[in-house]
Amino acid sequence: MRFLKSVLVGLVVLVAMLVAVGIMMPSTFLVERAIAVNAPPAKIYVLLADPKAWKQWAVWHRRDPEMKVVYSGAAAGVGATWSWESGSAGKGSMTLVAADPDREVQYTLNIESRNFSARGTIRLAPGPGGTVVTWSSEGDVGRNPLLRLLAPMADGKVGADFAEGLANLKAAAEKT
């Protein structure tokens, strides 16, 4: 009985410490990756502004070929939206909210099945031998202490997805 009481007190203290640390953690996150692409911005922009072109390079489509995707709104550029349902990626949508030809696209991402939203930008800038493509995403996890504890881990998971996606984008854009 005394052992169980000690374990219970220890668990309560541990949970209280985790909550306290979580409350002190920042609620925002930022993930960013970049790659040099040997292609002009116009060739890369076409792969970014058209949601259907994301299938050529985005990792989520490659991970789940059974993903159900529905396109709506504009065919490309501002207002282009795609929604998906997938066993691995959940249920969500992405909408292009800004599109500056040959410079950048901005999007909002909503993953309904995980109650998650973020804003992302993919920028194109002149670089050695072509174009530097920088993909970033930022968001706010709110006041939930557990989510605040997990937010710093977003860079590892999402960053790996961005790096893989950028490598795929590079390969697609550099095809002659």
Q: At what angle do helices 154-174 and 41-49 cross, to 10 degrees?
A: 120
What is the model's pLDDT at position 29? Answer: 79
Model confidence at 99: pLDDT above 90: yes
Can you read off the two tokens belonging to residue 148?
A: 């605040």
The amino acid present at 9, given as its one-letter code, is: V
What is the model's pLDDT at position 10? Answer: 79
% of the chain surpassing 70 pLDDT: 91
What is the model's pLDDT at position 176? Answer: 59
3-state secondary structure of 171: helix
Model confidence at 32: pLDDT above 70: yes
The amino acid present at 158, given as its one-letter code, is: V
What digits encode the pLDDT tens for the residues 46-73? Answer: 999 999 999 999 998 888 888 899 999 9
90: confidence class by pLDDT, cuts 50, 70, 90: confident
What is the model's pLDDT at position 155? Answer: 79
- HEC readout, 20-82: HHHHHCCCEEEEEEEEEECCCHHHHHHHHHCHHHHHHCCHHHHHCCCCEEEEECCCCCCCCEE
What digits encode the pLDDT tens for the residues 104-162? Answer: 999 999 988 777 789 999 999 999 889 999 999 998 777 777 776 776 777 778 899 99
Residue ranges of domains in the chain, CATH in brackets: 27-174 (3.30.530.20)
3-state secondary structure of 117: strand
